[in-house]
Structure formats: structure tokens, C-alpha cells
């Protein structure tokens, strides 16, 4: 009889320990998700355009209107600032390998990492200038982790 009580108590303690461990693991996963969310800096598109160096190597989140989706590769977005003519590039990554052409003219929310890049890595679709094609020089772009139309 005593062996049965001991065995039952040991089994109950084992189950209790396992369930506490699962809760702790769940708590750790939630803390990790909260930490990741906390490391995302919410910025305005105008702040990115005016001073991208301030956000270099940071994960940012912002909304902006899509001016252009590169029709050649679908791997570049040009977003507009509030000042006409001011734009910023968002580049495709493994997380978002291509942008949908239907994003043209829509407002999007973007999460990505601001990085300095060689101009040839973030060249705009080329534009005609004096009969010659010339690519716009860009030093910073957002390398996209998530994008969604609003």
C-alpha cells in the first residue's frame, strides 16, 4: 500500500514539474517575441529620407505610399515622402523576395533593416536624362522583412 502511495505521489510530482517547465518555455518564447517587437523602431518615411544614417542597422517600421514597383524584377519599391519628389528605396530579401505590382499607388506598412549599400545594389530603375540612361545614386535602403498593403 505504501509503495502505491509513493508511486502515485512521484508521478504527480513529475507531471507537475513537466507542466511548469512547459509554462516557463512558453513564457520564454513570449519574452523573446516581446524583445523582438521592442527592438523595432517606429519612424516616419520623412525621417528616413532626411536622415537614414540615424537608423543604420536598425529594424524600422513605417508607412508610406508606393510610388513605383520595379517592373523588371519586382525586387525594388520606391516609396514617397510627404514632400513631392522625396523618395526612399525598399529592397526585396529572402523574407520578401518580390513585391507585387498591385502595390503601385497603395499605402503600405514596411518592416525592415536600414542599411548602407553600394549604389549598384540599390539602383533605381534607370531614367532618361539627356538621351542617356543614368541610374539614381542611393546610399541607404530598407531591406524588407515584412510588407503589407493598408
pLDDT digits (tens, 9 = 90+) for 23-67: 444 455 554 455 555 699 999 999 999 999 999 999 999 999 999
**Count: domains in the chain:** 2
Q: Is residue 110 helix, strand or coil?
A: strand
Tell me the C-alpha distance between 143 and 100, whole Å: 16
Whole-number pLDDT of residue 10: 53
Does 32 share its domain with 64? Answer: no
pLDDT digits (tens, 9 = 90+) for 134-144: 444 448 999 99
Range of the domain at 20: 1-38
Question: Could you count the other beta carbons within 10 Å of the beta carbon of residue 132?
Answer: 7
Tell me the sheet residues that pair with 107: 65
The three cell numbers of residue 124 are 533605381
Does 69 share its domain with 121? Answer: yes
Does 34 share its domain with 48? Answer: no
Global pTM value = 0.65
Does 44 share its domain with 18? Answer: no
Strand 140-149 relative to strand 107-116, pairing: antiparallel
Amino acid at each position: 500500500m505504501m509503495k502505491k502511495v509513493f508511486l502515485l505521489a512521484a508521478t504527480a510530482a513529475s507531471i507537475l514539474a513537466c507542466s511548469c517547465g512547459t509554462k516557463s518555455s512558453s513564457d520564454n518564447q513570449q519574452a523573446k517575441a516581446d524583445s523582438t517587437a521592442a527592438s523595432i523602431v517606429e519612424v516616419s518615411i520623412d525621417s528616413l529620407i532626411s536622415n537614414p544614417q540615424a537608423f543604420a542597422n536598425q529594424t524600422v517600421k513605417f508607412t508610406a505610399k508606393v510610388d513605383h514597383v520595379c517592373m523588371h524584377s519586382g525586387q525594388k519599391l520606391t516609396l514617397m515622402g510627404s514632400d513631392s519628389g522625396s523618395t526612399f528605396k525598399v529592397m526585396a530579401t529572402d523574407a520578401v523576395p518580390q513585391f507585387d505590382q498591385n502595390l503601385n499607388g497603395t499605402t503600405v506598412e514596411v518592416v525592415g533593416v536600414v542599411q548602407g549599400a553600394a549604389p549598384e545594389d540599390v539602383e533605381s530603375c534607370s531614367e532618361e536624362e539627356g538621351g542617356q540612361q543614368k541610374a539614381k545614386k542611393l546610399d541607404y535602403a530598407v531591406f524588407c522583412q515584412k510588407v503589407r498593403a493598408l
